[in-house]
Structure 1
């Protein structure tokens, strides 16, 4: 089913402050707070999840301009080494592409889930003369590009099953992973705590989720790559949380 999906992730920080410098672990910890659904008529509906957080050194958040390693969105690979492609020392001829399937039979075919998860038909890669590379290139998503990870689970009648928006839509729609901005702008390590309000707009929620039971799993990542605990929302129906 083809759908129009807007994945502009809305974020607001409701509160964060530590007046008496509490001691928290440097690995972030989160707890579920609330979830809200807003039916906005002709505009994209919004599913909003609120989580409480605490972090011992305050290294939470990413700037929108941070798109180079380790915060790049996609990792490309070398057809010589099988490791991450080294843009500084390898040529574009060393880039692992769909054409390499002829001699590397472990590469996935351009079908099904793999078409969305491993093959980039519009890589943001440029030739030495400045023109954009036109080819199908193997990649893997870099989870650290985002710092707020969201998994959807839908009750299919016999239990909850993961629903991956990237592959279920049939048109390689984006996921609902996203970013929240830098929370500690002091430049110094300090404990912080508060509530993150994370909004996910979409025209597809009512069509896909309907009146079925749904739950989300949430994880956040700090700037050093430390993953928080993974939490789940209570099961809900959209009609119950509006």
Structure 2
């Protein structure tokens, strides 16, 4: 008994000492992102090919105010995050399509894709990362999904994405750096 108490107490003191040495990371309050990977899942829906594309990015944020609620009754829909504002969506996506370079036949470049529907945008909201409003450094990954169909894209079409995110800072949210994903070929399975 005395042996267990003696060494048990020593182990507890050691664990507490090691835990107190851990320093919180020191990230800036503006979010920082990096490209991690693209996940692609192809499936057929009554003869229509569909590609579900998941864009996975890493993030770091010094004050932990990332993500917006999707509940329209939430304060996350008050200005500046209200419907129709620049900051309504916190995950901003620009679709880039591979096209032949008009100045160099046989060479390819990526250009912003022009959607056939005026005002259509792939951007959206990702949910709050932290469940409370405590300021703390956060890091992790965000997985953002989109669907593409043969109605608008040909099999073999090569695309990539330009992305940035906003945090919940008010009155003006902080913008992250802009990243570009690796290219992905649609409807290859």
Normalized against structure 2, the TM-score is what? 0.72
Q: 2:133: which partner in 1? A: 187
Q: 2:29: which partner in 1? A: 26
- Mapped pair 1:226 → 2:174: yes
- Mapped pair 1:208 → 2:156: no
Shift of the alpha carbon at 1:191?
A: 0.2
Structure 1 runs of 4+ with >6 Å offset: none
Q: 2:124: which partner in 1? A: 178
SS of the residue corresponding to residue 69 of structure 2 reads: coil
Q: Does the 8 Å CA contact 2:60/2:138 hold for their aligned counterparts?
A: yes
- Mapped pair 1:150 → 2:93: yes
Return 5+ residue gaps in structure 2 as ranges. 1-21, 102-108
The 1-side partners of 2:24 and 2:60 are apart by: 12
Structure with more strand by fraction: 2
Seen in structure 2, the aligned counterparts of structure 1 residues 209 and 189 have a Cα distance that, compared at 3 Å, is farther
Q: Does the 8 Å CA contact 2:89/2:124 hold for their aligned counterparts?
A: yes
The 1-side partners of 2:69 and 2:31 are apart by: 18
Shift of the alpha carbon at 1:207?
A: 4.0
Seen in structure 2, the aligned counterparts of structure 1 residues 196 and 46 have a Cα distance that, compared at 3 Å, is same
Normalized against structure 1, the TM-score is what? 0.57
The 1-side partners of 2:91 and 2:77 are apart by: 15
Shift of the alpha carbon at 1:36?
A: 1.8
Structure number with greater CO (CA < 8 Å, separation at least 6) is 1
**2:45 aligned to which of 42, 50, 59:** 42
How many residues align? The count is 151
The 1-side partners of 2:113 and 2:179 are apart by: 17
Q: 2:61: which partner in 1? A: 55
Shift of the alpha carbon at 1:197?
A: 0.8
Task: Tell me which structure has the larger Cα radius of gyration.
Answer: 2
Shift of the alpha carbon at 1:209?
A: 4.9
Q: 2:7: which partner in 1? A: none
Shift of the alpha carbon at 1:236?
A: 2.7
SS of the residue corresponding to residue 43 of structure 2 reads: coil
Cα RMSD for the two superposed structures = 2.1
Q: Does the 8 Å CA contact 2:91/2:164 hold for their aligned counterparts?
A: yes
Q: Does the 8 Å CA contact 2:42/2:187 hold for their aligned counterparts?
A: no
